């Protein structure tokens, strides 16, 4: 299934200069023991002529020679996808219109498995609102939230639609559909001056600005993985509570301006430290997971930057240990941990979130 979806997605990205590429999964038929599930990749790309659609799943077929020259490839991936789907007992298909995009899909009959599902039941202190000016992304976000049983009280398309006041606290998910769009938030006083509004910012992958308003209580990068979105919302929601109520004024000041950089590479430590200093933070450094845990026991940090691959104890084990320490101490806040990694492999990224990291920073400075 993964190979077929990757083939579909690769083609969609290749033939879409602008617009969207979307993966959709839908149950078409359902009984007590079996389900027919449809997997589809939709794009807003160049589309395929009706005549060419008849042969598109045959080996070495692309729409025309100019397409091959412009985009490369032979069309063999779709033929292989067809064989894989048929071997799994499924069906494969295509809906497309020239100049308007394509929808490649396949359906499989799969066994129904009972699985315990934990809903996002930690959001108690605010209503959830969604602000996104792209209909496709808005729909995708609503599907994601619905899957995790998170009710959305309102959806907006423009910042101007945000009201000047709220009857109760609101955690607003703001989705950047263009790089650095979140910077505009600083210009809207009804956002910056509203005590009942906190923001969960979903950043565009190419955004570079980090000097966001202090209304932003959680920052996530696209593309999203569901658990990250829920953790971000929980963080935003919980910020309405009185936090750090057991901390002294000195501890709070220390927490707000101090970060921990964990990396066995001294150059990377220095680069991260310079970035932190420019943003007004002081920083401690550790060269291994063991050293990081010892520093965490002695100090409180606003943020931890954690390299994944280190000697003695890697970042994954260190993160799990820090999360266990937080539980043992009964801390009121969860320290954000951002993974420093050069890997873009899905399984590696998922491991970061599974062990308790909150986000990733693709680190190409090695």
Question: What's the rounded Cα separation, in Å, for the pair 152 and 145?
Answer: 8
Question: What's the rounded Cα separation, in Å, for the pair 182 and 340?
Answer: 23
Q: pLDDT tens digits, residue range 263-274?
A: 999 988 988 888
Q: Are 261 and 286 in contact (CB under 8 A)?
A: yes
pLDDT of amino acid 49: 87
Q: Are 314 and 346 in contact (CB under 8 A)?
A: no
Question: What's the rounded Cα separation, in Å, for the pair 18 and 215?
Answer: 32
Tell me if the domain spanning 249-362 has CATH number 3.40.50.2000.
Answer: no
The hierarchical CATH code for the domain 2-111 is 3.30.565.10
Q: pLDDT tens digits, residue range 286-329?
A: 999 999 999 999 988 989 999 998 888 999 999 999 999 988 88
Q: Are 188 and 216 in contact (CB under 8 A)?
A: no
Question: What's the rounded Cα separation, in Å, for the pair 269 and 305?
Answer: 10
Question: What's the rounded Cα separation, in Å, for the pair 94 and 97?
Answer: 10
Q: pLDDT tens digits, residue range 5-56?
A: 999 999 899 999 888 888 899 999 999 899 999 999 999 999 998 888 888 8
Q: What are phi and psi of 347, to 5 degrees?
A: -65, -40
What homologous superfamily does CATH list for 127-238? Response regulator (3.40.50.2300)
Q: pLDDT tens digits, residue range 169-221?
A: 999 999 988 887 777 676 777 777 788 888 888 888 777 665 556 778 888 87
Element (H, E) at 360: strand 359-362
Which residues of the chain does CATH 3.40.50.2300 include? 127-238, 249-362
Q: Is the pLDDT of residue 346 over 80?
A: no
Percent of the chain that is helix, strand, coil (3-state, to 5): 35, 25, 40
Nearest Cα neighbor of 204 from 187, 184, 221 is: 221
Which residues of the chain does CATH 3.30.565.10 include? 2-111
pTM of this structure: 0.59
């Amino acid at each position: 299934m993964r190979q077929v979806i990757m083939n579909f997605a690769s083609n969609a990205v290749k033939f879409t200069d602008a617009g969207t590429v979307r993966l959709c999964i839908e149950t078409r038929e359902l009984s007590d023991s079996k389900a027919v599930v449809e997997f589809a990749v939709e794009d807003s790309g160049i589309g395929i002529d009706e005549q060419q659609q008849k042969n598109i799943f045959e080996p070495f077929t692309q729409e025309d020679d100019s397409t091959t020259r412009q985009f490369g490839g032979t069309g063999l991936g779709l033929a292989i996808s067809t064989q894989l789907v048929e071997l799994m007992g499924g069906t494969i298909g295509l809906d497309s219109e020239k100049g308007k995009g394509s929808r490649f899909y396949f359906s499989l009959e799969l066994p129904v498995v009972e699985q315990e599902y934990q809903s996002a039941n930690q959001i108690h202190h605010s209503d959830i609102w969604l602000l996104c000016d792209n209909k496709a992304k808005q729909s995708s976000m609503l599907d994601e939230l619905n899957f995790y049983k998170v009710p959305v009280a309102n959806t907006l398309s423009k910042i101007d639609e945000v009201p000047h006041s709220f009857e109760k606290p609101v955690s607003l998910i703001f989705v950047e559909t263009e790089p650095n769009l979140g910077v505009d938030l600083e210009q809207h006083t009804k956002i910056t001056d509203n005590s009942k509004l906190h923001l969960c910012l979903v950043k565009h992958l190419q955004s570079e600005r980090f000097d966001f308003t202090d209304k932003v209580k959680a920052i996530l990068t696209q593309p999203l993985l569901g658990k990250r979105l829920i953790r971000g919302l929980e963080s935003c929601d919980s910020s309405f509570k009185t936090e750090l109520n057991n901390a002294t004024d000195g501890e709070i000041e220390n927490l707000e301006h101090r970060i921990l950089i964990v990396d066995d590479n001294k150059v990377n430590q220095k680069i991260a430290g310079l970035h932190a200093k420019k943003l007004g933070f002081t920083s401690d450094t550790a060269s291994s997971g063991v050293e990081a845990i010892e520093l965490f026991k002695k100090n409180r940090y606003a943020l931890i930057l954690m390299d994944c691959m280190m000697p003695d104890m890697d970042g994954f084990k260190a993160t799990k240990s820090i999360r266990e320490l937080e539980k043992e101490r009964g801390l009121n806040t969860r320290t954000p941990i951002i993974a420093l990694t050069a890997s873009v492999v899905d399984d590696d990224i998922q491991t970061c979130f599974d062990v308790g990291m909150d986000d990733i920073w693709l680190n190409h400075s090695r």
